[in-house]
């Protein structure tokens, strides 16, 4: 009888399992990452010993030393801030505002932001602070 020669098969590298693991790790890191909303400007907050929880529907207003108002990395004047908050309040009457003021900023700018909120009827106003450990 005839003997057939067995031709050895070449080893193949399958990258499908590797890609599966990379996507699983990517999904894990994206899901486990905590996303924070900040007003878009660097602010040194004053220190405090006790903090409150943020409400789920909130707008963060950053107040700088110079008295500039920031929401989502965009600078607003007092009039523009009032218009922006009015639009947000019309969309969501349960809107809450968190004011993040620089510790070196004069209190008048924080009071101005609070006054604008009160004029529009926004009652849930909070001021952010840095927790001292």
Question: Using one digit for the tens of pLDDT, what is the confidence trace for 69-121?
Answer: 888 888 888 888 888 888 888 888 888 888 888 877 888 888 888 888 898 88
Check: pTM over 0.95? Answer yes or no: no
Listed in sequence order, the residues at least 6 apart from 117 whose beta carbon sits closer than 8 Å to its beta carbon are: 85, 97, 125
Residue ranges per structural domain of the chain: 47-131
Question: Using one digit for the tens of pLDDT, what is the confidence trace for 3-35?
Answer: 777 777 787 888 888 889 998 998 888 877 766
Q: Quick one: CATH architecture of 47-131?
A: 2-Layer Sandwich (3.30)
Q: What is the pLDDT of residue 8?
A: 78
Inter-residue contact 47 to 79 (CB < 8 Å): no
């Amino acid at each position: 009888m005839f003997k057939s020669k067995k031709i050895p098969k070449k080893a193949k590298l399958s990258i499908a399992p590797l890609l599966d693991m990379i996507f699983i790790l990517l999904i894990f890191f994206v899901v486990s990452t905590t996303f924070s909303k900040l007003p878009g400007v660097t602010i040194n907050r004053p220190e405090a010993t006790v903090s409150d929880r943020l409400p789920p529907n909130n707008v963060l207003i950053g107040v700088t030393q110079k008295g500039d108002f920031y929401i989502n990395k965009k600078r607003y004047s007092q009039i523009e801030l009032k218009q922006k908050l009015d639009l947000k309040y019309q969309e969501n009457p349960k809107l809450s505002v968190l004011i993040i003021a620089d510790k070196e900023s004069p209190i008048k700018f924080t009071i101005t932001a609070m006054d604008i909120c009160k004029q529009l009827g926004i009652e849930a106003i909070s001021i952010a602070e840095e927790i001292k450990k």
